[in-house]
A and B are shown apart, each in its own frame.
Chain A
Amino acid sequence: MIGGLFIYNHKGEVLISRVYRDDIGSQAADSAVFSSSGPFLRERLGGSVRRNAVDAFRVNVIHARQQVRSPVTNIARTSFFHVKRSNIWLAAVTKQNVNAAMVFEFLYKMCDVMAAYFGKISEENIKNNFVLIYELLDEILDFGYPQNSETGALKTFITQQGIKSQTKEEQSQITSQVTGQIGWRREGIKYRRNELFLDVLESVNLLMSPQGQVLSAHVSGRVVMKSYLSGMPECKFGMNDKIVIEKQGKGTADETSKSGKQSIAIDDCTFHQCVRLSKFDSERSISFIPPDGEFELMRYRTTKDIILPFRVIPLVREVGRTKLEVKVVIKSNFKPSLLAQKIEVRIPTPLNTSGVQVICMKGKAKYKASENAIVWKIKRMAGMKESQISAEIELLPTNDKKKWARPPISMNFEVPFAPSGLKVRYLKVFEPKLNYSDHDVIKWVRYIGRSGIYETRC
């Protein structure tokens, strides 16, 4: 299991180091450090042997000359898993054959937990919350085994102010919650107004050939729920999942064909740990007791019948060796009554561009030399419309033999519908113990479709 956890700043200085197992930092890592770093480090190593592992990572990964070739590095039989958040490195170290997926999941979780406690993960925040982080590390990782890492539960007994004295009932409540079946929700939550918000957030990913052929397209969506519900409410979530609708519509063939149009085929979905997976597997119903506040209920992926909100038609012509002509047309493809927002088209330019002239019908376009791209922004655009940009790019003559790689044209946007076609059909709330019913709960649903990696090759 995880032998130790280190947090470094961008210079490779250790901000946090927590060692769980003795095997970390034994002699093995020495050779790697000494061979590549010389006497300076040796002086700094001082008394503690653990520093070897710490330094090995600094020398071989953070200060490495070339790009990181793998998120898992094995230095002298010690494996380092790392993730980077802004300019902070988190590294988990082990000498055993650990579950690699688990270690990465844990590192992400660690980031989430820290973010939930003190916001952005930055060097300053980490230094300021030094004690808190050690307390957290002590609680969520025991002998390298991840324990409960739900912020909701952790916040009940790891507080920044230090724990106030609790009554005996409170203590046992905490422990039963941390270890219990519903570790993500505490008892006795009360709201005057029972309310819930559902956000269906989708990102459309597209890779299109210059000829307009869809090479790959998929939607990865998330259903994020914000719940402000009293007690221990039992929820049931329904959407227009093809399998469910076909099951229900078995009786009347007519209905099946009618609703079949509106249902969507979900390739795969994953759920928050509060969802009863066995129930989903057998009945395909999504039932759960939600955590309090915001959480991600499910993630899903679809590949069939995706509504592609925009189509990009590129035309690149090389006029001689020093000039390029680019024309890009975008077409919006959704109901005219809806408005897409924050549209941005990014047209890459060669490295040896010397000047660019742009003409566009709508919005603003600018050549950004530092990004090697023409950025075309349109604030709003209704459905079934079309817009166009044309640009002349002047090139400096170079003797570089290598051809320009022609990176794809990428696009960003936001649309007020779900490109996968997903619809929330219901979200029912039952709380048998308290006297509020499904009808008393105020429910809000919102759909947002954003561009993921939306690229057209040119």
Chain B
Amino acid sequence: MTVGKDVSALFPDVVNCMQTDNLELKKLVYLYLMNYAKSQPDMAIMAVNTFVKDCEDPNPLIRALAVRTMGCIRVDKITEYLCEPLRKCLKDEDPYVRKTAAVCVAKLHDINAQLVEDQGFLDTLKDLISDSNPMVVANAAAALSEIAESHPSSNLLDLNPQSINKLLTALNECTEWGQIFILDCLANYTPKDDREAQSICERVTPRLSHANSAVVLSAVKVLMKFMEMLSKDLDYYGTLLKKLAPPLVTLLSAEPELQYVALRNINLIVQKRPEILKHEMKVFFVKYNDPIYVKLEKLDIMIRLASQANIAQVLAELKEYATEVDVDFVRKAVRAIGRCAIKVEQSAERCVSTLLDLIQTKVNYVVQEAIVVIKDIFRKYPNKYESVIATLCENLDSLDEPEARAAMIWIVGEYAERIDNADELLESFLEGFHDESTQVQLQLLTAIVKLFLKKPTETQELVQQVLSLATQDSDNPDLRDRGYIYWRLLSTDPVAAKEVVLAEKPLISEETDLIEPTLLDELICYIGTLASVYHKPPSAFVEGGRGVVHKSLPPRTASNESTESPETAPAGAPPGEQPDVIPAQGDLLGDLLNLDLGPPVSGPPLATSSVQMGAVDLLGGGLDSLIGGTNFVAPTTAAAPANLGAPIGSGLSDLFDLTSGVGTLSGSYVAPKAVWLPAMKAKGLEISGTFTRQVASISMDLQLTNKALQVMTDFAIQFNRNSFGLAPAAPLQVHAPLSPNQTVEISLPLSTVGSVMKMEPLNNLQVAVKNNIDVFYFRTLYPLHILFVEDGKMGES
């Protein structure tokens, strides 16, 4: 049976043996029944009678055995017969039977939830929380937690302080497993104030010295969660923090599998409350014969704990690790050195020299990893360590991984002016352009453009070559788009191109690979469980509705703390300083300021001039959507209207301008032109415009710019039906064909006699513009004041 052979044919014969007095045989028969009852439901009914009889047996072991086995037989017909014996067993005089019956309720609930509710077993289960026997309490708590998990909305686990008290009493007396159930159940409870939280914490702390690691971790979970509610000024808070460290360190002397679980959890705890383990760096040093999974986790935590105080030790260790055998581990160690450099500024120099030593070893993967991290170090400390570039360039040929190649290309492009043969180096990469990965292609394109902008004279050919490779021979839309952007930038305005491509890059943030704060908080609630091992919320790996209740840390009760807002992370990071998270490597959605490889920067880059602002517009229309609602206030690229006093690029003050304009109802206010249709979306045709009202006539002032490489003709315009019946009063007159880079300004008179349809929002206008290339659609909002007649009444109802 257990090795996979089907022996269900013997069912009747086996059932005949059920009535035996031999307990061992009985157990085997029951085991058989559990396995095959499902495949033979009709036959299984035959067994019911014996089960019911066994539930009345004078021997409590047999009563429990019967009720335990019955719950495991997942046949609908049987469940009905199970109810009566179960009810009796829940009230049995023997605790052994009661504790078995408590789990049986959970089993039955899994088969038929409705039945359990109808029969009132849930209330009985809740009563068992107050049972005199600790083991019964523990099992009841476990069963309740499980049932509550599949009913997120139910109030099953709304425990009152009395039952919490019962649980805490049982906690001292029951088996190690029971303690785990109770602690896990307690973790779901939210104390009503910090007083209660503290008293629970006090009663849970002794568990930290339990020999069972799971008890310790569950206790840590409860403490971490309830600590959130305690005021930081409290003495007790500090004591608790101190008490947490030793047990966590002790977990590291457990068996390797448990160490792994512990380390994954410590990783979370260190991120949430770095102060707990900040002095315990040494225990995370890797031992030579740790299993690889333990080594990798320890390394991760070492980096998180690295600080100025211990950096020397950490670096010495990391250097040692970089000579180990396991490739993954070595890579991670090298990467860790780079992260230390970024994290602890004082150590940067030592890190760089360590990395250089490692590059000298010429071990291929070490060199590649080192180059990747050196690139990050350059980003963090510009103009400091560029002297090492020469050494890096020596290793150009050995790079075969995309990430390392891309990093190297970035370095060459970024420091093209200091590398004499930068053009040759980049040219050598260009030979196999189409075989490279996208990451490398994008980087190469950018690097060559940078090189061209820095040394325009000798690299013209190179840039032509890469642009045509990117735009004409590539299937990758990202690459093509970027190629076109650069091409147009270079051909229209080299100065602007320089400012965009060679813009000063923001520094990268210090902490890396942090778990996003909300996820971290959720994971803290799952300490000890699989979720904390995977670092994923349960919904990511649990099927169906079970266990996907979103848990969150309790808010701090502000009883004696008025200054701090409840949301503030108590770890010491003031709000707004949440460090950015480096996305997974290979994320190609880098922004266009050629920061493919690096981490994103906080906040959008600030526009430094109108030219660049325009360029950004042109680059993707991202900004359009950003200010889509206030389209008419954004400044246009070319001619910012003279009446606009506000500094260009500050949309907010424009908005104030507008309100003042509308407020005076002068009628002469003209919003500055906004880009309605970016060139990116319209094959090179850019349309910006605004609406005006002059002496009873409404007109739409358009500015058409040809940013394509071919001539545009045959313009026409049409409006969709709209709320006020706006329609062009005359055809769109573009007299001469629009040649590349040419701009025309047209004023299109509008009437309000078109067909009416209510739009959402009311002043929404959908426009179609046609030319010889294609038809383009865009939508815009018109300011309502253009509809107002000068006598102060609405022109059209």
Q: Are B250 and A162 in contact, with the CB atoms below 8 A?
A: no
Given the interface contacts A99-B218, A268-B209, does A48 sit within 8 Å of B4 by beta carbon?
yes
Q: Decide: A267 and B541 in contact? CB cutoff 8 A.
A: no
In the bound complex, what is the Cα–Cα distance between A323 and B289 (angstroms)?
A: 27
Contact assessment for A131 and B24 in the assembled complex, using a CB-CB cutoff below 8 Å? yes
* A67 and B292 within 8 A (CB): yes
Assess whether B210 is in contact with A134, with CB atoms less than 8 Å apart.
Answer: no
Please, what's the 1-or-0 string for A38-58, where 1 marks a CB less than 8 Å from any CB in chain B? 000000101110010010000
| New contact pairs (9) apart from A148-B177, A216-B283, CB-CB < 8 Å | A68-B291, A70-B260, A175-B96, A215-B313, A271-B210, A273-B175, A273-B211, A278-B203, A281-B205
Residues of B within 8 Å of A98, CB to CB, are 529-530
Answer whether residue A83 sits at the interface, using C-beta atoms and an 8 A cutoff: yes
Asked whether any CB of chain B lies closer than 8 Å to the CB of A402, the reply is: yes
Cβ of B177 to closest chain A Cβ, rounded Å = 4
CA distance A280 to B3 in the complex (A): 48
Contact of A99 among B3, B6, B214 (CB under 8 A): B214
B206 touches which of A68, A209, A273, A278 (Cβ 8 Å): A278
Query: Which secondary structure dominates where chain B touches chain A?
Result: helix
> For residue B106, which residues in chain A have a CB less than 8 angstroms away from its CB?
143
Q: Which chain B positions have C-beta within 8 A of A72?
A: 260-261, 530, 533-534
Contact present for A101 and B24 (CB under 8 Å)? no
Query: Which residues in B have their C-beta under 8 angstroms from that of A397?
Result: none
A408 and B620 alpha carbons, distance in the complex (Å): 57
Known interface pairs A28-B543, A216-B282; A97-B363 also in contact (CB < 8 Å) = no
Query: What 0/1 readout, one digit per residue, does chain B (313-331) give for beta carbons within 8 Å of chain A?
Result: 1001100100111000000
Q: Answer yes or no: B41 CB below 8 A from chain A CBs.
A: no
Digitize A134-163: 1 where CB-to-B-CB distance is under 8 Å, 0 elsewhere. Answer: 110010001101111110000001000011
Q: Is B27 an interface residue (CB 8 A)?
A: yes
Cβ-neighbour of A100 out of B58, B104, B320, B528 (below 8 A): B528
Q: Which residue from chain B places its CB closest to the CB of A103 in the assembled complex?
A: B214
A81 interface residue (CB < 8 Å to B): yes
Would you give the shortest CB distance from B225 to chain A, in whole angstroms?
Answer: 15
Determine the distance from Cα of A267 to Cα of B282 in the docked complex, in whole angstroms.
Answer: 14
Q: Which of B58, B133, B323 contacts A180 (CB 8 A)?
A: B133
Interface membership of A77, Cβ < 8 A: yes
The distance from the CB of A303 to the nearest CB of chain B, in whole angstroms, is 8
User: Within 8 Å CB of A48, what residues of B?
Assistant: 4, 6
With beta carbons under 8 angstroms apart, the residue of B213, B218, B287 that contacts A453 is B287
Whether A142 and B533, one on each chain, are in contact in the complex, defined by CB atoms closer than 8 angstroms, is: no
A-B contact pairs, 13 of them (CB 8 A): A72-B534, A98-B529, A99-B180, A100-B528, A100-B533, A104-B261, A163-B23, A207-B285, A220-B253, A268-B249, A270-B247, A298-B211, A407-B288
Q: Which 3 A-B pairs have the closest CB atoms?
A: A268-B246, A175-B96, A101-B214
A44-B292 in contact (CB<8A):
no
Tell me, yes or no, whether B741 is within 8 Å of chain A by CB.
no
| Chain A CB within 8 A of B599 CB | no
Which residues of A lie under 8 Å from residue B260 when comparing CB positions? 70-72
User: Does B656 lie at the interface of the complex (its beta carbon under 8 Å from any beta carbon of A)?
Assistant: no
Q: In the complex the two chains form, is B262's CB within 8 Å of A101's CB?
A: yes
- Interchain CB contact under 8 A, A97 and B175: no
The distance in angstroms between the C-alpha atoms of A207 and B292, with both chains bound, is: 18
0/1 interface trace, chain A 371-390, chain B, CB 8 Å (1 if under)? 00000000000000000000
Say yes or no: A47-B59 contact (C-beta < 8 A), given A67-B292, A99-B218, A175-B94: no
Cβ–Cβ < 8 Å partners of B4 in chain A: 14, 44, 46, 48, 51, 54
**Cβ of B176 and Cβ of A273 under 8 Å apart?**
yes
Q: What is the distance, in angstroms, from B681's C-beta to the closest C-beta of chain A?
A: 41
Cβ-closest chain A residue relative to B99: A179
Contact (Cβ within 8 A) A99 B146? no
In the assembled complex, B182 has its CB within 8 A of some CB on chain A: no
Q: Does B110 contact A (CB under 8 A)?
A: yes
CB distance from A344 to the nearest CB of B (A): 16
Known: A168-B58, A277-B172. A301 touches B250 (CB 8 A): yes
A104 x B60 contact (CB < 8 A): no
> Contacting chain A: which of B135-143, B697-705, B781-789?
B135-143
Chain A nearest CB, measured from B125 CB (Å): 14
- The residue of chain B having its C-beta at the shortest distance from the C-beta of A133 within the complex is B2
Given contacts A97-B547, A268-B250, A281-B205, contact A207 B110 (CB under 8 A): no
Q: For A1, what are the chain B residues with a Cβ–Cβ distance below 8 Å?
A: 142, 146
Cα A142 to Cα B61 in complex, Å, equals 14
User: Is B212 located at the chain interface by the 8 A CB criterion?
Assistant: yes
Is B749 an interface residue when CB atoms closer than 8 A count as contact? no
Q: Are B58 and A69 in contact (CB under 8 A)?
A: no
CA of A171 to CA of B210, assembled, Å: 30
Task: Point out the residues of chain A lying under 8 angstroms from B139, CB to CB.
Answer: 145, 147
User: Closest CB-CB distance, B152 to chain A, in whole Å?
Assistant: 14
Pairwise interchain contact B282-A171, C-beta atoms closer than 8 A: no
CB within 8 Å: A-B pair count = 273
Q: A104-B257, A143-B71 are in contact. Are A270 and B293 (CB under 8 A)?
A: no
B669 lies within 8 A of chain A by Cβ? no
Q: Mark each residue of chain A from 323 to 336: 1 if its CB lies under 8 Å from any CB of chain B, else 0.
A: 00000000000000
Residues on the B chain within 8 Å of A433, using CB = none
Say whether, besides A98-B529, A131-B24, A280-B206, A47 and B6 are in contact (CB < 8 Å).
yes
- Chain A positions within 8 Å of B, measured between CB atoms, are 1, 13-18, 20-23, 28, 44, 46-48, 51, 54, 67-72, 74, 77, 79, 81-83, 94-102, 104-108, 131, 134-135, 138, 142-143, 145-150, 157, 162-163, 166, 168, 171-172, 174-176, 178-181, 183, 207, 209, 215-216, 218, 220, 267-273, 276-278, 280-281, 296, 298-299, 301, 401-403, 405-408, 410, 453, 455, 457
Residue of A nearest to B203 (CB): A278
Contact A99 B134 (CB under 8 A): no
CA distance A67 to B291 in the complex (A): 10
Q: Is B362 close to A, CB under 8 A?
A: yes
Binary CB contact string for chain B from 14 to 42 against chain A (1 if under 8 A, 0 otherwise): 00000000111001101100000001000
The reply to whether B23 and A162 contact each other, CB–CB distance below 8 Å, is: yes
Which B residues, 439 to 480, have Cβ-Cβ distances below 8 Å to chain A? none
Knowing A138-B31, A299-B211 touch, does A96 contact B261 (C-beta < 8 A)?
no
* Contact residues in A for B546 (Cβ distance below 8 Å): 96
Task: Judge whether B534 and A81 touch: CB under 8 Å.
Answer: no
| B266 CB within 8 Å of chain A | no
Q: Give the distance in Å from the alpha carbon of A16 to the alpha carbon of B289 in the complex.
A: 31
Q: Report the minimal beta-carbon distance from B245 to chain A, rounded to whole angstroms.
A: 8
Interface contact A99-B258, CB-CB below 8 Å? no
Q: How far is the CA of A218 from the CA of B68 in the complex (A)?
A: 47
Q: Is B118 an interface residue (CB 8 A)?
A: no
Q: Which of B23, B28, B213, B285 is in CB contact (< 8 Å) with A134? A: B28
**B5 → A minimal CB distance (Å):** 8
Complex interface bits, B675-691 against A, C-beta within 8 A gives 1, otherwise 0: 00000000000000000
Asked if B226 is at the interface of the complex by the 8 Å CB criterion, the answer is no
B667 within 8 A of A: no
* Nearest-CB residue, chain A, relative to B136: A179
Contact A102 B287 (CB under 8 A): no
Closest chain B residue, CB of each to CB of A275: B209
Chain A residue nearest to B30 (CB atoms) is: A138
Residues in B whose Cβ lies below 8 Å from that of A408: 288
User: Which residues on B sit within 8 Å (CB–CB) of A81?
Assistant: 257
Q: A83: nearest residue on chain B (CB-CB)?
A: B257
- Decide if A453 touches B288 in the complex (CB within 8 Å): yes
How far apart are the CA atoms of A82 and B255 in the complex, in Å?
A: 12
Q: With A179-B95, A215-B285 as given contacts, are A145 and B2 in contact (CB-CB < 8 Å)?
A: no
> In the complex the two chains form, what is the Cα distance from A457 to B323 in whole Å?
13
User: Is there a chain A Cβ closer than 8 Å to B184's Cβ?
Assistant: yes
In angstroms, Cα B253 to Cα A269, docked, is 11
**Closest residue to A138 on the B side, CB-wise?**
B27
Please determine whether B528 and A101 come into contact, CB atoms closer than 8 angstroms. Answer: yes
Interface pair A16/B95, CB less than 8 Å apart: no
| CB contact between A171 and one of B59, B134, B532 (< 8 Å): that residue | B59
Q: Name A280's contact: one of B110, B133, B177, B209 (CB within 8 Å).
A: B209
Q: In the complex, are the beta carbons of A143 and B209 less than 8 A apart?
A: no
The contact string, 1 if C-beta is below 8 Å from chain A, for chain B 170-190, is 001111110011001000000
